[in-house]
Structure 1
Amino acid sequence: MSDTEKLLKDLIKIDSSTMEGANRAVAFCENWLTERGLPVRKLENNGFHMLVSEIGSGDKTIVLNGHVDVVKGKEEQFSPYIKERKMYGRGSADMKAGVAAMMEAAAQAQKHELHSRIQLQIVSDEETGGLNGTKFLTEQGYLGDFVICGEPTELGIGVQSKGVLQLDIETKGKPAHGSRPWEGQNAIKKAYQLYEEILKLPFAAETEPPMYNNPSINLAKIEGGTVYNKVPEHCKMSIDIRYLPKQSVDDIIKQIKEAADAKVDVHIINDPVKTQADDPYVEALAASVKERTQLERANIFGQHGSSDGQFFTKYNKPAVEFGPFGHNWHGDNELVYLDTVHAYQDILLDFVLQFSKVEERAVQNK
């Protein structure tokens, strides 16, 4: 078992599905990094712990951002095992493999002469929104010039991601006896009819090629009614919209409010990531992928979901999602392909050692 595989296995053993557990995982990472001579700064925000470890010198900084918190899993998922070069366990793919490879790459990088800075960020609350971790770090000025979030991407580079708009919509009806529903107005039916109307609104038909065909709209929750024999007079519907990077979230809300004979409350708005495929740092990362794998080219794509990369958008910092090959994250048989973890680590090391030259090439190519 390689050092990286042992580190990953040790991380998976920590049940980090709670704040306390995630903080234990952060403490483990702090000890591991310190034992290998890397400087570590520990921060805390609203009870959540996080680490920043920076090495090297120079005008440019690459941020390697990873989270050690996981969604809840079964007890046996925190007893990792290897089968056919795949490691199974909660968080193996999302994203303790990414964190382990980033930590090992940083430890190896410090042995080289570095002409730029490498800033490793390890946070503990990405799965619950990232507000107390990465968002806090960006507000404290930990931004860098290029950001890699180590989410599982099959060694592809996710340059963009959709924004998040979550809404709670309350409809009101008219109660009546369940045997005479025509005398009332069913608030649940009214809510569902509104959902179908939302699917036909102008924003829902917009596209953004080549990354996206359309925004995604999920009816996440619907709550209404009290007893069998009464027409429900109240219903609350929750909708999760992943909107396109070019779209205006204010315009989407306006369209929905104009269509709704209902109360519309905003639950969450998260920014999209808008990194361009021809960004010089993206191109350099793609070159490292090609150099360190047998791939003819890196897959550049847009993510439907969200990551902590969103918090760098506010500061116009290019961020990408880039990580090893895994399956079933958040599922029962979560796994990561170990050979891709090692390839990922090699790519990161190659990229960070070449990072200071990216700006020079960008200037020369203008």
Structure 2
Amino acid sequence: MEKEYLDLLKELIRRRPVTSDISAVNNAVKCVRSFLKERGINCITENVDGRDVLYASTSSGKVQDILFNAHLDVVPAMSESQFEPYEKEGRIYGRGAGDCLGNVVAIIQALMERKEYYVSAIFNTDEETGGSTALAMVERGYGARKAIVVADHYEDCKITYRQKGILILKLTAHGKGGHAAYIMDPEQNPIDLLARAYLKLRTNWQNPSSPEDWRDSMNGCIISGGSARNQIPDTAELTVNIRYTGKTTMEDIVESVRSITGLETEIIRTCCPVSGNPELPAYQVMKKCHEKVFSGREIGFTGMCGATDARHFIKLGIPIIIVAAAGIGAHSAEEYVILESLYQYSRIFSEYIAEMQAVFAPECIEVKV
């Protein structure tokens, strides 16, 4: 990768674009916009509740053939030193180097190399807290004709074509409070009720054995109840995080949890799963580009249990592909991106833009909600 792009990556890290710091995030948008406009790329800045979002394209119009997406916001650093990037042993260290500023730069280099094609990118600014800015861009008419490439999840020589949805539930047990010195009927103590209900739910729910075991998963995350060491509370609560594939509807999952536990069940947060068809041309072309860059390596397709902004592009009805450069230690004190991988994925993105010109848009359509 050319020095000017690595310098841009380092400058973005120094701008400290932590999601909660809107001014810093907007400053990062200005930095990327300036870099692109000086090199002849069309840029539009949209504002979503005070946050700037950058749309870059090789030609005018909100809809191009290929749309790339990567986010410019980062999580807080473990120490201020993470905002001073440095190179060591073929890596760039710094907050956001792997998640997701390195991918931003890889996309930018691909745009610069393929100005003659119809290609665009959305650089949104709140992925770490839900990605509402990406959704807003879709709602404002930005999209693509053939495919969307979300650069935000690395799997070694694998292309992600599906991701699980999220369903967060709060389970509440109601009982009868009182002084902890006195014997309480277990059927009235909400903590006992909650504990038994969760154990029953865990017994009835068989979690996947591995990421490749594509089934719904469920894990308890937060338990709360009571405010004093000598007082039995009136209620106790448990928050569970469910990652679901879409084989069972969200409504059926909620009803099943309610039926098994017998507890009040409240939906706290949801996001839908994403599922594509790897046999379609858009996915096969991406595989071909990987095979060209990773000569001799076996390239496969996979799913991911986490979530990216891919879900916000579902309504566009075109293939969504999730790939990224090798970013290691995301959100940790030792976050970095591997420079060779950054170069490889910039090449893959560039090759994909060119190869997709032979694919007609109607052949691509296939995304399931």
The TM-score with structure 2 as length reference comes to: 0.89
Tell which deviates more after alignment, 146-155 or 177-186.
177-186
2:197 is matched with which residue: 182, 194, 197? 194
Partners of 1:79 and 1:89 within 8 A in 2 = yes
Structure 1 letter corresponding to 2:143: L
Partners of 2:71 and 2:101 within 8 A in 1 = yes
Tell which deviates more after alignment, 49-58 or 282-291.
49-58
2:314 match? 313
Partners of 2:97 and 2:336 within 8 A in 1 = yes
Partners of 1:165 and 1:268 within 8 A in 2 = yes
Q: CA deviation at 1:169?
A: 2.0
When residues 279 and 57 of structure 1 are mapped into structure 2, their CA distance, relative to the original with a 3 A threshold, is: farther
Q: CA deviation at 1:356?
A: 1.1
Q: CA deviation at 1:360?
A: 9.0
1:55 is matched with which residue: 55, 58, 61? 58
2:40 match? 37
2:74 match? 70
Secondary structure in structure 2 of the residue aligned to 1:320: strand
Query: Distance between the aligned counterparts of 1:189 and 1:57, measured in 2?
Result: 62
Query: Distance between the aligned counterparts of 1:360 and 1:40, measured in 2?
Result: 24
Aligned residues: 356
Structure 2 letter corresponding to 1:142: Y
Unaligned stretches of 5+ in structure 1? none
Partners of 2:280 and 2:363 within 8 A in 1 = no
When residues 27 and 362 of structure 1 are mapped into structure 2, their CA distance, relative to the original with a 3 A threshold, is: same
Query: Distance between the aligned counterparts of 1:15 and 1:192, measured in 2?
Result: 43
2:164 is matched with which residue: 150, 162, 165? 162
2:326 match? 325
2:136 match? 136
Q: CA deviation at 1:209?
A: 11
The alignment status of 1:334 with 2:335, answered yes or no, reads yes
Identity fraction in percent:
25
Partners of 1:155 and 1:344 within 8 A in 2 = no
1:311-364 CA distance string (max 9 Å, x none): 12233221121101121101111111110000000111011011111239969x
1:91 match? 96
1:353 match? 354
Q: CA deviation at 1:15?
A: 1.2
Partners of 2:42 and 2:60 within 8 A in 1 = no
1:263 match? 264
Partners of 1:87 and 1:336 within 8 A in 2 = yes
RMSD: 2.5
Q: CA deviation at 1:181?
A: 4.2
Query: Distance between the aligned counterparts of 2:169 and 2:362, measured in 1?
Result: 45
Secondary structure in structure 1 of the residue aligned to 2:284: helix
Partners of 2:33 and 2:43 within 8 A in 1 = yes
Query: Distance between the aligned counterparts of 1:53 and 1:300, measured in 2?
Result: 29
2:108 is matched with which residue: 103, 109, 119? 103
Q: CA deviation at 1:257?
A: 2.0
Q: CA deviation at 1:191?
A: 2.2
Query: Distance between the aligned counterparts of 1:60 and 1:25, measured in 2?
Result: 24
Q: CA deviation at 1:182?
A: 3.3
1:275-311 CA distance string (max 9 Å, x none): 1121211110110011122342323110100111011
1:23 match? 26
Tell which deviates more after alignment, 16-25 or 93-102.
16-25
Partners of 1:66 and 1:122 within 8 A in 2 = yes
Secondary structure in structure 2 of the residue aligned to 1:77: helix
The TM-score with structure 1 as length reference comes to: 0.90
Q: CA deviation at 1:187?
A: 2.1
Query: Distance between the aligned counterparts of 2:191 and 2:105, measured in 1?
Result: 47
Partners of 1:146 and 1:318 within 8 A in 2 = yes
Tell which deviates more after alignment, 153-162 or 121-130.
153-162
